[in-house]
Amino acid sequence: MFINRHWGEIYETVYFMLQDASDQIPTMADMNDQLSRFLSSRQSLWIGVKKKSLLGYLITSVGTFGQDSIKCLYILYLRGLEHLSDEDWESGYKQLSEYAKMNSCQMIATFSKVQKVVELSVKHGAVADVFVSWRI
């Protein structure tokens, strides 16, 4: 099973996401809380895979944006995406957009300083600086 073979990398991704978010070393309780968020569907873990190789990870959550409370798919954490080909990015963008629409979202948003993420997002119509957002 794919997840079993790559659990160490998945665990590491979640660990670093929590560490980045809080500036503290995550405890086992923190890791269990995050697992609970995944299992309850409050957040989703996306794993990019091509020919049995890991491409990258995303952690997403549906929420509202701005004073108008626009429903939005937030990309909370990105890892490994700076190495994606344009083709892989296109495929991932299409899947994220479909998922966002299934959840009645009108936009996708994230924060990223990774130049390739910003450039490819702009290619899909995003308004980008460090905060990247695009209507879907």
Interior angle at CA 59, CA 58 and CA 65, nearest 5: 115
DSSP-derived 3-state class of residue 27: coil
Check whether 136 has a pLDDT greater than 90. Answer: no
Encode pLDDT of 14-59 as tens digits. 888 778 777 788 888 888 887 788 777 788 888 887 787 777 788 8
Q: Which pLDDT score is estimated for 135?
A: 63
Q: Which pLDDT score is estimated for 1?
A: 54
The amino acid that residue 123 corresponds to is K
DSSP 83: G
Q: What percent of the chain has pLDDT over 70?
A: 88
Return the CATH number of the domain spanning residue range 2-135: 3.40.630.30
The amino acid that residue 22 corresponds to is S
What is the domain partition of the chain in residue ranges?
Answer: 2-135
